[in-house]
Amino acid sequence: MSQRAEFWLAVDRIREGDARYKPDAYAFVMEAVDYTVRSLGVWRHVSAAELVEGLRRAACDRYGMLAFTVLEKWGVRTGSDVGEIVFQLIDEGFLSRQDDDSREAFDEVGSLASDLVDRYFETG
């Protein structure tokens, strides 16, 4: 089975127990991890703050002013939502973590709405 197929099966398993987030949210978080690492220019572990910032940038690049609307439609409104998805993907073996990684680090990021609007007007 391809890694892509395994990923979508894992998303289905996650959503059987927790359907807060749409399937596309999981795929976009994976894309945001890649986007963030590439933007840093070195392959390394990224912090919660770096990942959420990378997700914001990736969302603005792809969706422009609709970035928050798209993320909200998928159920992703806060850094905590990003953290929940990240840790669900860690549990399924699609992402890894370090000992000091925590869901609480994502909680500190807060809401994505105003930051996404500000980011769009900075780059748009």
Q: Are 99 and 92 in contact (CB under 8 A)?
A: no
Name the residue range of residue 75's domain: 3-15+24-123
CA angle, 6 then 83 then 23, to 5°: 40
List the structure tokens of 62.
Answer: 């792809």
Given a cut of 80, whether residue 21 has pLDDT beyond it is yes
In the chain, the number of structural domains is 1
- C-alpha span between 102 and 43 (Å, rounded): 20
Q: What single-letter amino acid sits at 57?
A: R
Burial status of residue 37 (CB atoms within 10 A of its CB: 0-12, 13-18, 19 or more): middle
Q: pLDDT tens digit string along 55-113?
A: 999 998 999 889 989 999 999 999 999 999 999 999 999 999 999 999 999 998 877 76
Please tell me the pTM assigned to this model: 0.89
